[in-house]
Amino acid sequence: MTQTSVTTGKVKSYRQAATAAALLIILPCLLSLINISFAQSWKLHFFPAAVMLAAIVFGARGGLAAGISGSLYTAIFLGNPYVIAGNALFGLLTGVFYKKTGKIIPAVLMAFACELPWLILSDYYLAGLDADFIAGLVVVLLLGNLLWAALINLGIKPINKFLSPGADS
């Protein structure tokens, strides 16, 4: 696990500041607008990829920030503000578990497992969603999270190289 100067909390250039803003706010917001519908009108959400990436690059605080910013559109569009807390928790925990393990896929799976009780309870009791719908949602989110984690895992070396301190010359 390599750490860039961005992950230390010290932004050393305008390029790194722009990168931080893009990864923590802009990318999650933009990706929240992209969903691909498939079987039984389930949707593959793109913004969890930005949440995971922010958590890996910036740690727990970055995951938290990206989870909140990426959830705003979805929360407003669905009228379900509880999704913000769930995605904030997912981003935070992905950052925590990645720091402890240095492994992307296990970190994402552990974060999802910890977020799952909140997702189920808030969607059922607070948002009033049907249990069958929630069960399908859990499967779709799990598969989507696995997909994004695997893709990020494949591309993390070039991403870290791009974000490394010497890359802004």
Calculate mean pLDDT across residues 22-29.
68
**pLDDT 10s digits, 70-119:** 888 888 888 889 999 999 999 999 999 999 999 999 999 999 999 999 99
pTM for the full predicted model? 0.80
Confidence class of residue 4 from pLDDT cuts 50, 70 and 90? very low
Mean pLDDT of 20-45: 70
Kindly tell me the burial class for residue 86, based on how many C-beta atoms sit within 10 Å of its own C-beta (0-12, 13-18, 19 or more). Answer: buried
- Whether residue 32 contacts residue 74, with contact meaning beta carbons closer than 8 Å, is answered with yes
Residue 111 DSSP symbol:
H
In the chain, what are the domains? Answer: 12-34+43-168 (1.10.1760.20)
**What tens digit of pLDDT does each residue of 106-155 get?**
999 999 999 999 999 999 999 999 999 999 889 989 998 998 999 999 98
